[in-house]
Amino acid sequence: MLIGGFTALVVLVAAAVGGLYWLDYESRHPEPDSGRPGAWMSTSADEVSRFAHVGIPAAAIDVRWGYQNGFQDDFAVLAFRVPQAGLEDFKGTLTVSGWAESRYVQSADLDGFQHVGAPDPSSTLPLTCGDFYSPGPAKQIGTRVCFAARDDGTSQVWVSAMHTP
């Protein structure tokens, strides 16, 4: 009797935890354009470009972008390729104070680039990256720009931007 009661209690607790996990799924995976925290929103490449304070060069190809509504801090990603001959001109439009080789890409950035179907920056090493901050409507925007040369004569550029406290 005691073993049966304990078994029933364990099954009941497991069912309750599973039910809460199932109910919480929607808050962890909000519908696109729902406006809920974590939802990927429909927006244009120009809007993402303005948010990140990074202009998209006229010669850019394979432009991909995404904008995620955050609980407190919104997040945007932008990826494109530019001819290697135009990379220095593009870099000159940015307020990055210094560029450095990097082997680390934040998981949030990787998730964003994967979401928009951009190449995985962590598989294209070495990366050259730089950061800068820009004024936003309520908070500053922290932007990270990374790039790597490709065999086809272009450079892949990855941009991630987020509100900063």
Which pTM was predicted? 0.79
pLDDT of residue 110: 86
pLDDT tens profile 47-73? 999 999 999 999 999 999 999 988 778
Assess contact for 159 and 144: CB atoms under 8 A: yes
CA–CA dist 50, 33 (Å, integer): 19
- In angstroms, the Cα distances linking 36 to 29, 60, 138 are 10, 32, 19
Assess contact for 93 and 55: CB atoms under 8 A: yes
CATH class of 32-164: mainly beta
pLDDT tens profile 75-101? 999 999 999 999 999 999 999 988 998
pLDDT of residue 117: 93
Q: What are the residue ranges spanned by the domains of the chain?
A: 1-30, 32-164
